[in-house]
């Protein structure tokens, strides 16, 4: 028979061992047709899976609910079930706060110089290039003048997606220039912070930004111009120890982690048990560091109200002087 001779051929081709011959024999001539019949079935199930594109749902890290991405976007990136505030980019934040087309960005092209020639697993220069490509930002803050309702404001918004929102010379310089412009043009300042702290790749140059921004804010304060600081998850270290904690009013987003050193460092240093909810916005509201906790959806209205309240005395004074 033709089939047996065929089997013999394949066996000798494979390894020349005659022993497994009986096991190889079974596939009858019908076999090829069967495999063909099965293949299209597999293909259809695969295409059905492909119909659900990736990135359509996001799992909430707090309540584990799968939230529909479109729903999340419409809800200002806040979980519809438990109100967990997801991270948002600086551009998304600006879009959610200022009137359409009213934002004029300042120093958009300012970019860091690798002064220390920092070498790590990847050099600082390589890191900067990678983050500039992935975030389409030049550094971790966007500054500019925009309008909230009828109020013109100097707005600085940090982006955690750029090197953990770390403060290097560019973040410090852009914010200082923003504050100085506001002092000059007599505008209120709003800074929305999210940061892991000073940028270690710039060493002392990043630490110097703490004093520089704080000094600029002192001049703003001398002119009795309001500054509202908004703390979002997370705001820590060098940023928290400078401009983020210097607001005339300090507001925070619900559940935001706010602090200087991390809880483990504090626990090791103080050798004390930390209270529950330590370093959360809610804990700091109870202890007087934060003035209010504002839901992201109410942020624009709240900022408007606070600025109006803080500008009241100033308006009355200018009217009296005139």
Residues that bind Zn ion (CB under 5 A): 60, 62-63, 79, 81-82, 84
Q: Coil, strand, or helix at residue 111?
A: coil
CB 255 within 8 A of CB 281: yes
As a whole number of angstroms, the distance between CA 39 and CA 210 comes to: 65
Which residue, 67 or 142, is less far from Zn ion as judged by CB? 67
Assign 140 to helix, strand or coil. Answer: coil
Which run of H or of E encompasses 58? strand 57-59
Q: Which of 228, 233, 275 is nearest to 258 (CA)?
A: 233
Q: Rounded to the nearest whole angstrom, what is the least distance from the CB of residue 273 to Zn ion in the complex?
A: 29
Q: Choose between 70 and 81: whose C-beta lies nearer to Zn ion.
A: 81
- Rounded to whole angstroms, the Cα distance separating 244 from 229 reads 6
Contact between 11 and 20 under an 8 Å Cβ cutoff? The reply is: yes
Comparing CB distances to Zn ion, the nearer of 71 and 104 is: 71
CB of residue 86 to Zn ion, shortest distance in Å: 9
Nearer to Zn ion, 255 or 262 (CB): 255
The whole-angstrom separation of Cα 204 and Cα 209 is: 9
Which residues lie below 8 Å from residue 82, measured CB to CB, with a gap of 6+?
60, 62, 63, 65
Cβ nearer to Zn ion, comparing 83 with 123: 83
C-beta of residue 200 within 8 angstroms of C-beta of residue 194 = no
Least distance in angstroms from the C-beta of 158 to Zn ion = 24
**Minimum separation from the CB atom of position 61 to Zn ion (A):** 8
Nearer residue to Zn ion within complex by CB, 141 or 281: 281
- Residue pointed to by tokens 């190889």: 24
User: Least distance from C-beta 93 to Zn ion, angstroms?
Assistant: 20
Q: How far is the CB of 160 from Zn ion (least distance, A)?
A: 19
């Amino acid at each position: 028979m033709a089939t047996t001779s065929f089997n013999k051929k394949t066996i000798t081709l494979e390894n020349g061992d005659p022993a497994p011959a009986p096991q190889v024999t079974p596939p009858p001539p019908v076999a090829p047709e069967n495999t063909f019949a099965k293949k299209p079935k597999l293909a259809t199930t695969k295409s059905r899976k492909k119909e659900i594109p990736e990135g359509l749902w996001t799992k909430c890290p707090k309540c584990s609910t799968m939230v529909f991405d479109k729903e999340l976007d419409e809800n200002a990136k806040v979980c519809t079930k438990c109100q967990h505030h997801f991270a948002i980019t600086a551009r998304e934040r600006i879009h959610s706060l200022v009137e359409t087309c009213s934002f004029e960005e300042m120093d958009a092209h300012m970019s860091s110089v690798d002064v220390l020639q920092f070498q790590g697993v990847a050099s600082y220069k390589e890191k900067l290039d990678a983050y500039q490509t992935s975030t389409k930002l030049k550094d971790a803050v966007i500054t500019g003048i925009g309008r909230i309702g009828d109020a013109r404001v100097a707005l600085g918004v940090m982006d955690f997606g750029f090197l953990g929102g770390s403060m290097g010379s560019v973040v410090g310089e852009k914010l200082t220039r923003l504050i100085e412009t506001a002092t000059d043009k007599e505008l209120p300042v709003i800074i929305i912070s999210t940061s892991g702290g000073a940028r270690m790749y710039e060493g002392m140059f990043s630490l110097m930004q703490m004093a520089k921004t704080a000094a600029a804010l002192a001049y703003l304060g001398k002119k009795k111009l309001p500054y509202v600081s908004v703390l979002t998850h997370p705001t820590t270290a060098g940023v928290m120890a400078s401009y983020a904690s210097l607001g005339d009013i300090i507001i925070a987003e619900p559940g935001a982690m706010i602090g200087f050193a991390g809880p483990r460092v504090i626990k090791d240093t103080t050798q004390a048990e930390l209270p529950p909810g330590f370093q959360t916005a809610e804990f700091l509201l109870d202890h007087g560091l934060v003035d209010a906790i504002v839901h992201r959806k109410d942020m624009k209205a709240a900022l408007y109200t606070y600025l109006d309240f803080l500008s009241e005395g100033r308006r009355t004074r200018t009217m009296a002087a005139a």
